[in-house]
């Protein structure tokens, strides 16, 4: 019988590697496993990944991190959602908030009521009934409360932070918990000739690191899961054709806003992520429709403050590893796959990988059933995120470039096609049992992309029109008043987590 897992080796010290190290060293502390992380300064990290989702707060809490300390250390700002500009039509803008819309009445969901009033011209933007949208647009921030009677209980928040500083912070935490960091470049992998399992990673000059379980956080190269274990790659570029990015930081043009912006461009989109000490910007585009120099020019033309560094060009491919756990190698982070950063999902998928691994962590020898379950859960997570991202492109009315004509008319995964039809016809969001994005997220993007329900729950017709319209008007006024009384985002940061001014 194979022995218990005593030695865990993590290859890679980017966000994925250090998140994994910090989590494992906390969650598995009682097992007293040896945890080693190998990283190479010469290779470096991908160096992007600044916008997150609210789940990161719970992940950080679970692994024992202090929020204000972490936010100060990473120059973080609050994030209430993502603003999408020019996506369905040029001139459009909507925010996908981290929170709910309105309140149900008479047992009828808010969306159904809104759809009916919208058709009758008796309501305003659905965004006006979302506290985080109104807060984001006003540049204000207040912490959520638990009292379900308060509208302040209807939202959550995430961070916009410096990815390099986050990894550095997690390194300090992990090393404090006994994780051993090895600097060096892995040049070859020793595998058992019979089982194919990894036995050791070689750093050259006779240096080797041996382990029982290996976590591949080596980034796009996927050195262990793919090069050594041959996991293969499921390519989704037919649905997500963007395969390039150019990133560039700029100075802050004004106080940072509590949301990320994604502005549609001719053959992709541009991100803007405000931090305390700078703004992260980037252009994600499809090389089939735009060359690199034109993409860079388009990005530089649309910056709203002076650049602080030279542009950094990146290449990627949308898709996932066919298996994210093979033998004694588990892939986490970019090594497991990549879906473009439109909805800030990569760090979440890292968390999901770590959490699932912790839940299934072998008690004794490796068990094929645990491995199969890990692969099933992670593959489903990737599928769900993929569908949500594809919706942003496909549900557009834009006809002003070859790129938009392509994504508007392309075939989409059957699972998404069905979902769009159900929403358009009856305002129904088919519920996924698993998956990251819940009802309000789908509503935000459907309605924001001008997919408006043509019919609604007949019970909404039974509600008295005048009274219902007045109730929505009151709801809108109440949200506006609550927001008006909050701190500005800037003042909230200054009080809660002011970072050091960086030279």
Ligand X SMILES: Cc1cc2nc3c(=O)[nH]c(=O)nc-3n(C[C@H](O)[C@H](O)[C@H](O)COP(=O)(O)OP(=O)(O)OC[C@H]3O[C@@H](n4cnc5c(N)ncnc54)[C@H](O)[C@@H]3O)c2cc1C
Which strand (E) or helix (H) includes residue 17?
helix 15-27
Smaller CB distance to ligand X: residue 116 or 265?
A: 265
C-alpha–C-alpha distance, residues 40 and 400, integer Å: 44
**Which lies closer to ligand X via its Cβ, residue 327 or residue 341?**
341
Dihedral pair phi/psi, residue 341, rounded to 5°:
-80, 20
Is 115 a binding residue for ligand X by CB under 6 A? The answer is no
Site string for ligand X, 312-351 (x = CB under 6 A): --x-x----------------xxx-----x--x-xx--x-
DSSP character string of 473-494: HHHHHHHHHHHHTSEEHHHHHH
For residues 86 and 476, give the distance between their C-alpha atoms in angstroms, rounded to a whole number.
25
The stretch among 38-46, 94-102, 463-471, 494-502 that binds ligand X (CB under 6 A) is 38-46
Under a CB-based contact definition with an 8 Å cutoff, are residues 169 and 70 in contact? yes
According to the binding rule CB under 6 A, does residue 436 interact with ligand X? no
Scanning 316-400, the segments in alpha helix (DSSP H) are: 346-359, 368-394
Return the range that interacts with ligand X (CB under 6 A); candidates 44-52, 58-66, 318-326, 361-369. 44-52
Q: Is the dihedral of CA 92, 93, 99, 100 positive or negative?
A: negative
Tell me, residue by residue from 124 to 153, as one string, x for binding to ligand X by CB under 6 A and - for no binding: ------------------------------
Segment contacting ligand X (CB under 6 A): 39-47, 356-364, 380-388, 460-468? 39-47
- Report residue 70 as tokens: 């972490």
* 180/314 with CB nearer ligand X: 314
d(CA 302, CA 296) in angstroms, rounded, equals 10
48 contacts ligand X (rule: CB under 6 A): yes
Supply the minimum distance, in Å, between the C-beta of residue 313 and ligand X.
Answer: 10
Euclidean distance between CA atoms 314 and 287, whole angstroms: 11
Q: Which of 32, 79, 90, 419 is catalytic?
A: 79
Classify residue 84 as exposed, middle or buried by CB count within 10 Å of its CB (0-12, 13-18, 19+).
Answer: buried
Q: Does 378 bind ligand X (CB under 6 A)?
A: no
Question: Is residue 315 among the annotated active site residues?
Answer: no
Segment lying near ligand X (by CB under 6 A), choices 8-16, 84-92, 98-106, 449-457: 8-16
Q: Which is nearer to ligand X, 105 or 385 (CB)?
A: 385
358: contact with ligand X by CB under 6 A: no
Positions annotated as catalytic residues are 79
């Amino acid at each position: 019988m194979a022995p218990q897992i005593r030695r865990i080796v993590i290859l890679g010290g980017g966000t994925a590697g250090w998140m994994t190290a910090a989590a494992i060293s906390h969650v598995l502390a009682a097992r007293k496993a040896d945890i080693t992380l190998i990283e190479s300064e010469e290779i470096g990290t991908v160096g992007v990944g600044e916008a997150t989702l609210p789940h990161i707060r719970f992940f950080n809490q679970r692994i024992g991190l202090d929020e204000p300390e972490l936010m100060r250390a990473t120059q973080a700002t609050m994030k209430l959602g993502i603003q999408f500009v020019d996506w369905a039509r040029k001139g459009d803008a909507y925010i996908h908030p981290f929170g709910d819309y309105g309140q149900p009445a008479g047992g009828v969901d808010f969306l159904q009521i809104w759809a009916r009033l919208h058709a009758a011209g008796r309501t305003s933007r659905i965004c006006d009934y979302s506290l985080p949208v109104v807060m984001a647009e006003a540049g204000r921030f207040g912490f959520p409360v638990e009292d379900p009677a308060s509208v302040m209980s209807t939202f959550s928040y995430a961070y916009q932070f410096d990815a390099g500083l986050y990894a550095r912070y997690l390194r300090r935490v992990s090393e404090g918990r006994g994780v051993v960091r090895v600097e060096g470049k892995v040049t070859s992998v020793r595998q058992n000739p019979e089982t194919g399992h990894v036995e050791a990673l070689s750093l050259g000059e006779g240096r080797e690191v041996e382990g029982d379980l290996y976590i591949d956080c080596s980034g796009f190269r996927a050195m262990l899961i793919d090069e050594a274990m041959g996991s293969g790659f499921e390519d989704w570029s037919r649905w997500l054709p963007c395969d390039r990015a150019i990133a560039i930081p700029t100075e802050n043009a004004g106080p940072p806003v509590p949301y990320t912006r994604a502005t549609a461009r001719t053959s992709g989109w541009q991100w803007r992520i405000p931090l305390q000490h700078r703004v992260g910007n980037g252009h994600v585009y499809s090389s089939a429709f735009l060359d690199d120099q034109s993409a860079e020019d388009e990005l530089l033309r649309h910056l709203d403050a002076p650049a602080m560094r030279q542009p950094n060009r990146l290449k990627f491919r949308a898709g996932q590893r066919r298996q994210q756990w093979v033998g004694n190698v588990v892939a986490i982070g970019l090594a497991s796959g990549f879906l473009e950063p439109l909805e800030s999902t990569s760090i979440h998928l890292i968390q999901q990988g770590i959490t699932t691994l912790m839940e299934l962590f072998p008690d004794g020898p490796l068990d094929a059933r645990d491995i199969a379950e890990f692969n099933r859960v992670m593959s489903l997570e990737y599928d769900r995120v993929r569908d949500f991202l594809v919706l942003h492109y496909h549900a557009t009315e834009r006809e002003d470039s070859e790129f938009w004509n392509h994504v508007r008319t392309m075939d989409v995964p059957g699972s998404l096609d069905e979902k769009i039809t159900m929403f358009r016809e009856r305002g129904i969001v088919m519920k996924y049992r698993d998956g990251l994005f819940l009802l309000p997220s789908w509503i935000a993007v459907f309605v924001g992309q001008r997919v408006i329900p043509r019919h609604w729950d007949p019970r909404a017709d039974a509600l008295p029109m005048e009274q219902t319209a007045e109730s929505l008007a009151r709801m809108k006024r109440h949200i506006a008043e609550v927001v008006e009384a909050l701190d500005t985002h800037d003042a909230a940061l200054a009080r809660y987590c002011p970072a050091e001014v960086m030279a």
